[in-house]
A and B are shown apart, each in its own frame.
Chain A
Amino acid sequence: MIFEAENVVKNFGGLKAVDNISFSVEEGEIFGLIGPNGAGKTTFLNCVAGALKPNEGTVILFGEDVTGLKPEVMCKKGVSRTFQISRPFPRLTVEENVEVGAIFGAPKDHKITAKNRVDEALDFVKFPLSRETPAEHLNAVQLKRLDLARALASSPKLLLLDELAAGLTTGELEEIMDLIKKIRDRGITIIIVEHIMKVIRGVCERIVVIDYGEKIAEGKPDEVMNNPKVIEAYLGEKRISF
């Protein structure tokens, strides 16, 4: 088991944004985390990545209790993430953005230089523009690609993707699904938060559904999506596309 969450709780004042979530992910798995808007998905990822400290519960990585560690420490332990709203470093160039992940996030390895990691990550996401482009000149989709390259450059073992596919065209969706599978094939375990069910169906082996911070279902994507509780939770939800 590479990752386990046990009874994770995160409160914002009176609001239970994450309420007693538990699940575990096996090495090499692509695990989906879905739920309606405001369900607490991003908050949960923040608890895993160290951006937020859970109020209760434990986060376990490779059998080690890593609950409440700082984000920079989690990164060094092999957890990388992309952001729901990708806004990396606007006044750095594309190359420098990825360099940040490669220099500070990756474990020291004398065989692979930071430069190698940058090249590899940018090639891997097939970044379409010049590396000298300042990030502030990129559009939303290009920023997502850049954010992914930055996260990959730090050689993660567990990658957290927060709505990476939002705003993509159908063609780009296929490409991103391909990319996600290729990342997994390199031995990286992935937890993916996504509203686009096509992506979830296409790549995930297992998913959990959360609603109002609580886990309401867990299992294979097709089974879970026919679960009456899940259908009810998504009733009236506009952003979802089955």
Chain B
Amino acid sequence: MKITELAGRKRKMTGITNILQRVGFSPSGFILLVVLAVLPFIPPFSSEFILRWLIFGAFLAAQAVAFDLTAGYINVVNFGFAAILGLGAYTSAILANTSPYLIVQTGLTPWIGMFIGAIVAGFVGFILGFLTLRLRGLYAAIMAWFVGIAILGLARNLIKLTRGSLGLSPPSLLETSSNRPYFYIILTMMVAIYIICKIVTRSHYGLAFRALGQNIDAARASGINPTKYRVFNFTLSCFCAGLLGGFYAHYFVSLTPQAVMHTSKTVEVLAIAFIGGRGFLWGGILTAFPFVFFIEYLRSALPGLPGLHLVIYGVLMVLVMIYYPKGLAGFVVWAREKIKIYKEEKNGGF
């Protein structure tokens, strides 16, 4: 009786583990996510001040996932990433505008605007996929960078639409001054983006991405159509960026070209994705939260050094790229493997 009950429970457990596995979570990864989800109720994380750090962490983490879909799989660093995120943010902010001084005054609710922004960003990603199709590695990155600069230029100069460098003040997503609901929104976005990207990369699309990223000649000779897979990859990654841009616009309720679209914002995401480990998707999530806390702490400890976080990102990224290109996620996988072998040795034999 007891034994069957136990076996039943065990079967149930493996059932849940299977479902989790299918959407890209290991049991320990899921536990971390649950911890993250209850954190806003535990002091000191429940303070509004630290909640903002958590929100920013999830925002960066979700970006790193979308960025890694391109950088870690098809091996193209999208230097226009922040600009495309900004495009999503601006689209939603412009559509939400009611001020008579700007030409568009649709006053659309951010809940819809965010998705339109994501679609616009996804469309630019689609174009970018075609533009960079014939280019390899660095050249594709530079092309993406130029597209980003062009978008930044538009945001600066279409003053009737964007107020230029003065920026926009879009309405907030929720009518609350509490940060906690926003945290759950961005956490949901992060998990959704992760699950979608994970499902895609688990399918044969992921194999095509990696093959194209590692040896395009051999990939094509094996029948992979680079247009289809690269364009799809860019579109999905940029769609996610655009959606996150919408969140940014209606959470921070302030939007300037410099603050969202600048290349240094891409570099920040790039650093987190690379330190987290390319081609794992979850490496960036694991890195983003401790990083935000570390850097915010530094910022309050050493207030006189505004660019310090970029220097730290840069140094760490270079160290990781030279000495441990698999990054944090690669290390975790390695350690997990070692523990498994150790356990088997302990349990096996007589």
Residues of A within 8 A of B (CB): 49-51, 70-72, 75-76, 80-81, 83, 87-92, 96, 99-101, 103-106, 147, 150-151, 154
Contacts and interface: CB of A to CB of B under 8 A. Distances in A.
A91 B279 contact: yes
7 contacts: A75-B221, A90-B214, A91-B214, A96-B207, A100-B211, A104-B224, A151-B221
The 9 closest A-B pairs by CB, nearest first: A105-B223, A75-B223, A104-B223, A71-B220, A89-B214, A101-B222, A105-B222, A104-B224, A100-B211
Given A89-B210, A91-B210, A100-B207, A72 B225 contact: yes
Contacts, number: 76
A154 B214 CA distance: 19
Interface in B94-120: none
Contacts of A50: 220
A103 B218 contact: no
B129 interface: no
Contacts of B215: 87-90
B223 A89 contact: no
A2 B217 CA distance: 24
Contacts of A70: 220
B279 A154 contact: no
Contacts of B224: 72, 100, 104
Q: How large is the interface on B (under 10, 10 to 19, 20 to 34, 35 or more residues)?
A: 10 to 19
A49 B218 CA distance: 11
Contacts of A100: 207-208, 211, 218-219, 222, 224
Given A92-B211, A100-B207, A103-B204, A87 B218 contact: yes
A71 B214 contact: no
Given A49-B221, A71-B217, A92-B210, 20 more contacts: A50-B220, A51-B217, A51-B220, A75-B223, A76-B223, A81-B221, A83-B218, A83-B221, A89-B210, A89-B214, A89-B215, A90-B214, A90-B215, A96-B207, A100-B208, A104-B204, A104-B211, A105-B222, A106-B223, A151-B221
Contacts of A72: 220-226
Interface string B196-240: 000000001001101100110111111111100000000000000
B222 A104 contact: yes
A83 to B, nearest CB: 7
Contacts of A104: 204, 208, 211, 222-224
B217 A83 contact: yes
Contacts of A81: 221
A89 B211 contact: yes
Contacts of B226: 72
Interface string B158-178: 000000000000000000000
